[in-house]
Amino acid sequence: MNVADKAGEARANRAAALKGLYEAIARGNMFPFWATSDTVEHDEVVQLMATPKAVPHVWRFAEIEPLLKRAAELVTMDDSERRSLILVNPGLAPKRASVSTMYTAYRLNDPGEIMPPHKHSPSAIRFGLIGEGNFTGVEGEDVVFGPGDMVLTPNDAWHNHGTVGDTPSINLSVLDLPLVETLHAVHFDHNYTEIENGREVPKKVQTARYPADYSQAAYGHGGMVPRFVDHRRGGGKSSPMWVYRWEAMEALLERWKDFDGAPHEGVTIEYTDPVHGGPVFRTITFYVQMLRPGERTLPLRQTANLLIAPFEGSGHSIIDGQRFDWTQFDTLAVPGGCWVEHVNGSERDRVIFFVASDEPTQKALHLYRKIGRDRAGDLIRLD
């Protein structure tokens, strides 16, 4: 056998041996973290990066609303205590996630539908879209809310949902459930009880323990907080202000409408914990973003995942070079790492986004990065 034949036989033997090695590793539920050739079949970086990833996507309210109405006709509160549509990212399906760490869901309740209390480890908010009778009870504070109002249902806080009044109401939810699920820390509890005469009694409705609009009375004055109230209600795991009214946000937007804002994001106003500062939850934050008539943001890229719900106006976004059109009450997924620009094509009307971001989690883990391009196209560090 000549030298060339011997070399070929050696390569064939090695390939067969490697094949057997990889098969044994797979049977043992392990992963080979190395690269042995110029092929990508066993390249560790390619393999690790090949996991499912969220993709940019728009869910259209014009398609969602008819489905909610059909569900309201066919699925009663006797059938199920929940009737929501969760937005599933095409890149992550069938996982219940709109981006890798959060999901958005739309909910419609007919008049008089009030579900029993429950609680869970994921943190959540409700944001009013349609109707003045959206209802959420949170740890004894009954909250009736309308369009633009944001209501917190913190980690492990008892709460229930529904509609009061004579007309159906629609709101959207944002939860960090995919993140909590990844950490294997999800739990739900539906066995609500209250103490009566020294005994634990099951209840279907929470007893109101706070006056109407307690959140606004206690926390609705920036820079001034009463010292005599319990700021740790609900376990102290979130902002103790559980409803943020649109009127206050609208007043701030009006105040800042003629300022330049940030060239990469326009005018943004974040919801914060009025006692300790910082985001309302440890895992996700929420803010409103305003684009004035004709405004176009400069390209921005950040590691944070975003869920963007246009609350007013229409326009489009350019995400990694692809155009996504959106209008009122749609939801836009912007996965972390994407380049994005937002465009308000109207010369008359403003655009208002309601935005959820996992920025707090990434900052706590020192993973957050934010860069942009200036008007000349050069890269600049933003955070």
Which domain, by its residues, includes 18?
Answer: 3-48
Residue 85, phi then psi, degrees to nearest 5: -110, 115
Structure tokens at 12: 């064939």
Same domain, yes or no: 147 and 244: yes
pLDDT at 1: 61
pLDDT at 134: 94
Same domain, yes or no: 30 and 67: no
Q: Please write the tens of the pLDDT for every residue from 276-308.
A: 999 999 999 999 999 999 999 999 999 999 999
- Taking the CA atoms of residue 304, residue 310, residue 314 and residue 315 in that order, the dihedral angle to the nearest 10 degrees is 0
Same domain, yes or no: 301 and 346: yes
Same domain, yes or no: 241 and 327: yes
Same domain, yes or no: 373 and 277: yes
What is the DSSP code (8-state) at residue 262?
B
Burial of residue 92 (CB within 10 Å: 0-12, 13-18, 19+) is buried
Cα separation, 92 vs 101, in Å, equals 11
Chain-centre distance for alpha carbon 118? 20
Q: Which residues of the chain have pLDDT under 70?
A: 1, 3, 35-50, 80-81
Q: What is the pTM of this model?
A: 0.91
> CB neighbours of 205 closer than 8 A, spacing ≥ 6?
114, 116, 117, 137, 160
Same domain, yes or no: 221 and 269: yes
Burial of residue 281 (CB within 10 Å: 0-12, 13-18, 19+) is buried
Same domain, yes or no: 39 and 127: no
Cα separation, 142 vs 140, in Å, equals 6
Same domain, yes or no: 299 and 220: yes
Residue 298, phi then psi, degrees to nearest 5: -75, 160
Q: Please write the tens of the pLDDT for every residue from 264-283.
A: 999 999 999 999 999 999 99
CATH of residue 192's domain is 2.60.120.10
